[in-house]
Copies of this chain bind each other. A is one copy, B any other.
Amino acid sequence: MRHEQHEATWKQLNAHIDEWVASSKTHTSEGHVASYIPELANAPADILGICIMDSEGNTCLAGDSDFRFTLQSISKVFTLILALMDNGEDVVFSKVGMEPTGDDFNSMLKLELVEPGIPFNPLINAGAIAISSLIAGDSTDTQVERILSFFREIADNPSLTINQNVFKSESDTAHRNRSLAYFLKDNGVLDREVDDVLRVYFSHCSIEVNCTDLARMALVLAHNGVDPIRNQRLIPRRFVQIAKTFMFTCGMYNASGEFAMNVGLPAKSGVSGSILTMVPGHYGIGLVGPALNRKGNSTAGVHLLGILSQEFDWSLF
């Protein structure tokens, strides 16, 4: 995209975003707010907010863009990056695989089938739990603090914190994640204690943000690890490359292939109804719409990204 083209896109974006959000918002009625964590179940079902940020930090905001929510699975992208920075590729990929797969009801089954008993990839729950155990730090507290510092740095927002109600709610109800973690422990994938690893995992899932924070974090990935606003490298390019590849092939649960075909951008969604995506080289995008389709992605959010990708021909292919 040349400069003039960016100008045109930006203008058109700002002119139409409200109407696109409005038309997408009608799709909230097709979905349901995640109910498995009590705290998430309280989110309003009918909202949709988005922030698109360009490389100078200008934002295009629409809908309920100041609604606050927790990162949930979106955090997995950044803990993967931090684990890579802490351990290097070889260590990380001795604990998780590289192959795309959906993450659904039968993910334990998949854990049992893949040789040699490690999770398929770092974005499914089992993989992300393994990644949580790899974050450097003598104690759980240190690990959590390092994660929080790293996320604040990427988001350029020192006020990011963990939503303690969500954290507590997740810890209390996560039988399935606990089952996965003990399974990993039994297979020798986790060096730390299960309770400690899960505390780290639930902590980063419970970091609270808004759409602008998401867009800011995405912007750094869109620019291959350099923050274009502060003009500062925050992540080695190779690790962004790894993260974006996983986002493209398996960032949207069991609808990753469909999203890749219809939107065509690296993205990661969370059960809070949030999606982080980007136009490589250009924009960071964050959105939230808590009503989820049966694959676990924001119904309105996926619809809105479909419009944007179509309208501006953003698909990578």
Chain A residues proximal to chain B, CB less than 8 Å: 97-102, 105-106, 108-109, 112-113, 121, 175-176, 178-183, 185-186, 194, 240-242, 244-246, 248-250, 254-258, 260-261, 264, 266, 280, 315-317
Q: Is the interface of A mostly helix, strand, loop or mixed?
A: helix
A272 to chain B, nearest CB (A): 20
Contacts A/B (CB < 8 Å), 27 sampled: A98-B261, A99-B254, A99-B255, A99-B258, A100-B257, A101-B101, A101-B102, A106-B112, A106-B113, A108-B108, A108-B183, A109-B113, A175-B194, A178-B182, A182-B182, A241-B264, A241-B315, A241-B317, A245-B317, A246-B257, A248-B248, A248-B249, A249-B249, A249-B257, A249-B260, A280-B317, A316-B316
Q: Which of A246, A258, A315, A317 has the most CB of B within 10 A?
A: A317
Number of copies: 4
Cross-chain contact of A186 among B179, B250, B254, B266 (Cβ < 8 A): B179
Bound-complex Cα distance A242 to B262 (A): 9
Nearest 7 A/B pairs, CB to CB:
A179-B182, A175-B186, A98-B257, A100-B100, A99-B257, A179-B183, A244-B317
